[in-house]
A and B are shown apart, each in its own frame.
Chain A
């Protein structure tokens, strides 16, 4: 097993730790923080998988995940502060 595979497994374990915070969060903001950080960690997983497999389309999935996570977090933050979406 080479070094890159070990780093990939560590990264996957870290994303599971973030899901622990999503499940156990005391307030709703904790769950949203966990989901935001989970989205960024998945981009790291996609980047390591790109080197391991040599296929470049996996990095496209990562870029799309960045944009979707950004829009989702902004929408949930707007919902959390109690405003409508067109204010």
Chain B
């Protein structure tokens, strides 16, 4: 029963991340909303799998997948937003501050 609660929380976080991915105005906002929410939600689903199976083979596989997903998703998102900035994609109309423009010179 506890595993179902963890999986429900994870799917709820995935829902919030996908709403942000659809609704937010430019690529930087979309990426920060979607990456944070979806990474945390999928890690919560994997914790649910670990609780459901216990520390036997399948649960240990889920335990291996959690840090792998955590680090790879964040590093990939950072590389992606850096590449998008260097490719010259503009910020949205309502953005007020751009500190990276001074740092990149």
Contact = CB atoms under 8 A, between A and B. Distances in A.
Contact of A34 (B15, B21, B77): B21
Contacts, number: 146
A53 B65 CA distance: 19
Main secondary structure on A side of the interface with B: helix
B61 A4 contact: no
Given A14-B15, A40-B73, A77-B80, A47 B62 contact: yes
Contact of A33 (B4, B31, B46): B31
A25 B86 CA distance: 18
Interface of B: 3-4, 7-8, 10-11, 14-15, 17-18, 21-22, 27, 30-31, 34-35, 38-39, 41-42, 45-46, 48-49, 52-53, 57-58, 61-62, 64-65, 68-69, 72-73, 75-77, 79-80, 82-84, 86-87, 89
Interface of A: 3-4, 7, 10-11, 14, 17-18, 20-21, 27-30, 32-34, 36-37, 40-41, 43-44, 47-48, 50-51, 56, 59-60, 62-63, 66-67, 69-70, 73-74, 76-82
